[in-house]
């Protein structure tokens, strides 16, 4: 049966994973941002995979653009769906909740997520200090270890097998739910601050995330090269008088920060000067086609 892999990536982690899975399945990965603008998204493939990073796992974990993609996928009821979630922390904490939320969305549309996989990749802001249990921090080591996990995922997909420890992951997710609910409140407070909204704002996190680009800063090193406009997955950046101006529909993916050749863009969730992207991915791999008029 034909397999189609769709992915969303800001730092190249998920692109790298999608490439490996697509190669194993004999297909070519498709960027979700390149197709999500259509009113409906169709594929002739019987098996459809979604590769995405975990963002704000305690609140929802699934990037907004992935939610939109799922809602537009045609014939979702007839597709054999699987998902791969990449995360920077412990998979059981950071990947399981987003996968469960994605499965819930798919069920609400009449579909079913057959398998839920996860893989640990370097954290996009490289900030591991908030993790109370010791964890590997070296990006090269993390990427090397991920290869075995990705290989196992490829084997399971081609042999039509589910993820490992499915029942155990479900149990852990059940017990994590109260903790995530407790963490959601301070996370929402932080989002309000970054979105420049009043403390008593009733906006949901889905409404706040697009506005968090109000806290992205630009320094004097900017040359107006336009690289940020090319890599932004939602065309959220316009050049005005040779300087980038954010349009408040941010996906919080860090692409503009990471792929700026002058290191002039600074995302609020990243320590000043910290940069990371997957070593096997080039800036040109991330370039978006121009939006249709």
Are 8 and 108 contained in the same domain? yes
Q: Tell me how far apart the alpha carbons of residues 216 and 228 are, in angstroms, rounded to a whole number.
A: 12
Q: Which CATH number belongs to the domain containing residue 250 in this structure?
A: 3.30.70.20
Confidence class of residue 291 from pLDDT cuts 50, 70 and 90?
A: low
Give CA angle at 143 (138, 148), nearest 5°. 130
265-273: long-range contacts at Cβ-Cβ below 8 A with a sequence spacing of 24 or more?
265/216, 265/217, 265/218, 265/222, 265/228, 266/216, 266/217, 266/218, 266/219, 267/125, 267/216, 268/194, 268/212, 268/215, 268/216, 268/217, 269/125, 270/124, 270/125, 270/126, 270/127, 271/125, 271/126, 271/127
Q: Tell me how far apart the alpha carbons of residues 59 and 239 are, in angstroms, rounded to a whole number.
A: 33
User: Do 164 and 130 touch, CB atoms closer than 8 A?
Assistant: no
Are 77 and 168 contained in the same domain? yes
In a domain, 53, yes or no: yes
Give how far Cα 145 sits from Cα of 10, 151, 244, Å: 21, 11, 37
Average pLDDT, the chain: 92
Strand partners, 18: none
Does the structure show a pLDDT above 80 at 5? yes
In a domain, 164, yes or no: yes
In a domain, 157, yes or no: yes
Confidence class of residue 150 from pLDDT cuts 50, 70 and 90?
A: very high
Are 123 and 245 contained in the same domain? no
Contacts of 123 (CB under 8 A, 6+ apart): 88, 89, 276
Number of structural domains (the chain) is 2
In a domain, 213, yes or no: yes
Count of C-beta atoms within a 10 Å radius of residue 65: 18
- Reported as a single tens digit per residue, the pLDDT across 151-185 is 999 999 988 887 766 666 777 767 677 766 777 78
Q: Tell me how far apart the alpha carbons of residues 239 and 84 are, in angstroms, rounded to a whole number.
A: 34
In a domain, 178, yes or no: no
Q: Name which residue leads in pLDDT, 183 or 123.
A: 123
Are 157 and 221 contained in the same domain? no
Q: Which pLDDT does position 290 carry in this prediction?
A: 67
- Reported as a single tens digit per residue, the pLDDT across 70-101 is 999 999 999 999 999 999 999 988 998 899 99
Q: Tell me how far apart the alpha carbons of residues 117 and 120 are, in angstroms, rounded to a whole number.
A: 11
* Backbone torsions φ then ψ of 203, nearest 5 degrees: -65, 140
DSSP one-letter string for 194-213: HTT--TT----HHHHGGGGG
Are 139 and 51 contained in the same domain? yes
Q: Which pLDDT does position 292 carry in this prediction?
A: 55
Q: Which range of residues forms the domain containing residue 244?
A: 205-286
Say what the pTM is. 0.93
In a domain, 200, yes or no: no
Are 169 and 213 contained in the same domain? no
How many distinct helices (H) and strands (E) make up the chain? 11, 9
DSSP at 291: P
Are 145 and 8 contained in the same domain? yes
In a domain, 118, yes or no: yes
Contacts of 169 (CB under 8 A, 6+ apart): 92, 96, 116, 163
Q: Tell me how far apart the alpha carbons of residues 11 and 88 are, in angstroms, rounded to a whole number.
A: 12
Are 150 and 34 contained in the same domain? yes
Count of C-beta atoms within a 10 Å radius of residue 184: 15
Does the structure show a pLDDT above 60 at 216? yes
Of the residues 150, 173, 196, the one at which a domain ends: 173
Confidence class of residue 187 from pLDDT cuts 50, 70 and 90?
A: confident
Q: Which CATH number belongs to the domain containing residue 70 in this structure?
A: 3.40.50.360
Q: Which pLDDT does position 180 carry in this prediction?
A: 67
Q: Which pLDDT does position 14 carry in this prediction?
A: 98
In a domain, 112, yes or no: yes
Q: Which pLDDT does position 182 carry in this prediction?
A: 73
Q: Which pLDDT does position 162 carry in this prediction?
A: 78
Mean pLDDT of 115-134: 93
Are 158 and 209 contained in the same domain? no
Are 247 and 102 contained in the same domain? no
Are 18 and 157 contained in the same domain? yes
Q: Tell me how far apart the alpha carbons of residues 77 and 106 are, in angstroms, rounded to a whole number.
A: 9
Parallel/antiparallel/unpaired status of strands 217-218 and 265-266: antiparallel
Are 140 and 69 contained in the same domain? yes
- Reported as a single tens digit per residue, the pLDDT across 189-213 is 999 999 999 999 999 999 999 999 9
């Amino acid at each position: 049966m034909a397999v189609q892999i769709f992915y969303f990536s800001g730092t190249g982690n998920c692109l790298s994973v999608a490439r490996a899975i697509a190669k194993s399945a004999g297909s070519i990965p498709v960027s979700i941002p390149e197709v999500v603008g259509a009113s409906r998204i169709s594929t002739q493939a019987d098996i459809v995979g979604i590769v995405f990073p975990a963002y704000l796992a305690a609140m929802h974990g699934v990037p907004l653009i992935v939610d939109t993609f799922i809602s537009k996928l045609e014939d979702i009821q007839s597709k054999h769906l699987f998902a791969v979630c990449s995360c920077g922390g412990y998979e059981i904490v950071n990947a399981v909740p987003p996968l469960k939320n994605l499965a819930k969305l798919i069920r609400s549309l009449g579909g079913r997520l057959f398998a839920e996989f996860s893989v640990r990749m370097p954290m996009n802001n490289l900030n591991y200090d908030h993790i109370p249990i010791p964890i590997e921090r070296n990006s090269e080591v993390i990427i090397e270890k991920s290869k075995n996990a990705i290989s196992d995922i490829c084997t399971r997909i081609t042999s039509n097998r589910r993820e490992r420890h499915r029942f155990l992951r479900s149990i852990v997710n059940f017990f994590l739910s109260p903790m995530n609910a407790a963490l959601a409140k301070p996370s929402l407070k932080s989002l309000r601050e970054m979105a420049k909204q009043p403390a008593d704002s009733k906006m949901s996190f889905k409404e706040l995330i697009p506005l968090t680009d109000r806290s992205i800063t630009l320094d004097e090193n900017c040359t107006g090269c336009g690289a940020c406009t090319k890599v932004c997955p939602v065309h959220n950046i316009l050049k005005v008088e040779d300087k980038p101006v954010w349009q408040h529909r941010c996906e919080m993916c860090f692409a503009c920060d990471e792929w700026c050749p002058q290191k002039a863009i600074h995302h609020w969730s990243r320590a000043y000067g910290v940069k990371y992207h997957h070593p096997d991915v080039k800036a040109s791999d991330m370039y978006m086609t121009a939006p249709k008029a």
